[in-house]
């Protein structure tokens, strides 16, 4: 069933989970994640555009999830919406065979964890750094592919 879901989400087979990653690439990705982790406060200041976009999504998440009437869901919606939107965009771009755009959304998803990491804890910050480093690897792998729709 997971293979069927994977084929439905990524019919062209270009998702990051289908990229063969060598041991050297894994070590490089982990090193980049640790470097980002050591400088994550500076990285957050560098990603101020993502922070501004996430602030709007945070407010919208509180409004959207507030419609359910549960106060806990209203509060959690502010944290869920900034994580939900980049992941939805990621899967939409994968379905349309745009792996570069999907990797940028994956980077955005990782940057969101830098923003909510202080509220959740250190593992969330490391996860965000790892996802950001992995998305940069995906951009490197898909560098020679066009950013737009595939040629017909």
Provide the residue ranges of all domains of the chain, joining segments of one domain with +. 48-144
C-beta neighbour count of 86 within 10 angstroms? 23
For 26-78, write each residue's pLDDT tens digit: 777 777 777 777 776 776 667 777 777 777 887 888 888 888 888 888 878 77
CA 70 from centre of chain: 27
C-beta neighbour count of 11 within 10 angstroms? 12
Tokens of 151: 């040629």
Q: Which residue has the tokens 């996430």?
A: 54
Q: Please say whether the beta carbons of 94 and 7 come within 8 A.
A: no
SS3 80: helix
pTM greater than the 0.75 cutoff: no
């Amino acid at each position: 069933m997971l293979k069927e879901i994977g084929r439905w989400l990524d019919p062209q087979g270009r998702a990051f989970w289908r990229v063969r990653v060598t041991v050297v690439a894994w070590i490089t990705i982990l090193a980049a994640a640790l470097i980002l982790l050591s400088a994550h406060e500076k990285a957050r200041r560098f990603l101020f555009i993502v922070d501004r976009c996430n602030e709007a999504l945070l407010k919208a998440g509180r409004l959207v999830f507030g419609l359910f009437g549960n106060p806990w869901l209203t509060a959690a919606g502010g944290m869920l919406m900034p994580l939900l939107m980049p992941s939805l965009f990621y899967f939409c771009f994968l379905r349309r065979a745009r792996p570069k755009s999907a990797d940028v959304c994956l980077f955005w998803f990782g940057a969101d964890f830098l923003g909510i990491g202080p509220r959740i804890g250190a593992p969330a910050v490391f996860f965000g750094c790892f996802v950001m480093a992995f998305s940069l690897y995906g951009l490197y792998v898909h560098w020679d592919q066009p950013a737009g729709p595939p040629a017909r």
